[in-house]
Amino acid sequence: MDLKSFSKYTRPDREKRALIDSALPKVELKKFMMKGLDVAEECLCEIAYEEKPAKICPKCGKKYPADENFCFACGVALNDLRHADIKTLDVKHEFSFDGSAVLSDFEEIFTTENLILINDFDFTRRDFNKILKDIRITALKSIDDAIKQNAVDLDSLSCLEKVLLFTKAFVDVKYKSYGQELGYYSFNTIIVDDRQLDALQITTMLHELTHFLIKEMLVHIMCRLLDASKTREMESIITFILTYSKENCLIDEYAAHTVEGRFTLFGYQDYSSFLNIQKEIDLPEDEIEMLKTIGNTLAHMIKTIIESFITDQMLSDIKTQFRSDILDRPDYTQLRHENCILLTYEGFFQVIQCILVEGFAFASENVEKLKEINEMW
């Protein structure tokens, strides 16, 4: 990847710059403008707060006061809202992509024609927005269904439980109570250490969720380019691409770090995740910076999915949770590691093209490794 060639496609990330600047002298909370609520509103009507609702329609999700027993619109009896145990709650999550071909054999995938299709990169901003929107709506519908089926009283949930419910609309969440790591992402599962403080579990989940979303987004882009349905093999190829080079690992890690940072108080962020990878890359500083710019841009795109659920109020609740949980003094020295540059869409698509073309070619020479990955889902 010729990283220098992308520098002409950059622009300042003013929003992030302003957030960091505002944090530097003293931690001061800002109200953020939320984007991406257009789609959320149509799916999350039942999440809208009404006056002391006590019941919910299992069909349409509309909430009712305690003295109502029946949803006349749906012709069904109402259920009492309850404080559900989100840890054990089943939330369906399946993200599909339908194309003309179903490629479930690596030999079928690694053809010259397919390499040409990826190289041609016939992909528009409209295609990209549709992919983000599809992922977002699928998740919101899953949350919607889980709330209706289980009569979940969203108002009774803690901040951590709400974030957990949201995360479970994308991936399986499992718990561990060993080791130093706060959590990790692996094959559509997030593992969280539940001995940790609520605030740290929240930011860990959003960090690991970003790893999932980058994988998912790239799978959809590749399926769109090849006009193929999403299969396990496609997922395995993208998983391989995201891990085979240190550069790609750094991009992925910096993006996860950035999304996490959006929901953490500045001065309390952990930089080790990407600094450890950065140490192992032998590139000039400006090229490392470009990798971070790519990561920052990915984070910027992913944020639109996450912000469709994490509203202003929730963001403020997460930060309050942070203040009550974390007693250490903030450390602002690390903020110098932050990259505040974004790629334009043109530059972003060129980077994705580059990552996919190089990764696809390299993956085609490592089919044995891909078969190993394929067994691990």
185 vs 348 by CB, closer to Zn ion = 185
CB of 22 to Zn ion, least distance (A): 26
103 makes contact with Zn ion (CB under 5 A): no
208 vs 317 by CB, closer to Zn ion = 208
Give the whole-angstrom CA distance, residue 191 versus residue 151: 26
Q: Choose the binding region for Zn ion from 11-19, 40-48, 69-77, 312-320 (rule: CB under 5 A).
A: 69-77
45 makes contact with Zn ion (CB under 5 A): no
114 vs 293 by CB, closer to Zn ion = 293
CB of 115 to Zn ion, least distance (A): 30
CB of 73 to Zn ion, least distance (A): 5
Q: How many residues sit close enough to Zn ion to count as binding (CB under 5 A)?
A: 8
Residues in the chain: 377
Which residue of 23, 57, 228, 290 would you call a contact of Zn ion, by CB under 5 A?
A: 57
Give the whole-angstrom CA distance, residue 351 versus residue 3: 9
Phi/psi at 189 (nearest 5 deg)? -130, 140
Q: Choose the binding region for Zn ion from 3-11, 21-29, 67-75, 296-304 (rule: CB under 5 A).
A: 67-75
Strand partners, 174: 191
59 makes contact with Zn ion (CB under 5 A): yes
DSSP string, 108-164: HHS-HHHHHHHHHT---HHHHHHHHHHHHHHHHHHHHHHHHHHTB-GGGS-HHHHHH
256 makes contact with Zn ion (CB under 5 A): yes
74 makes contact with Zn ion (CB under 5 A): yes
Which DSSP helix (H) or strand (E) runs through 76? strand 76-77
Give the whole-angstrom CA distance, residue 120 versus residue 357: 10
Q: Choose the binding region for Zn ion from 57-65, 123-131, 190-198, 259-267 (rule: CB under 5 A).
A: 57-65
- At residue 101, the 3 state secondary structure works out as strand
Q: Are 187 and 168 in contact (CB under 8 A)?
A: no
Vertex 213, ends 182 and 163: CA angle to 5°? Answer: 55
CB of 8 to Zn ion, least distance (A): 29
77 makes contact with Zn ion (CB under 5 A): no
86 makes contact with Zn ion (CB under 5 A): no
Binding site for Zn ion (CB under 5 A): 57, 59-60, 71, 73-74, 256, 273
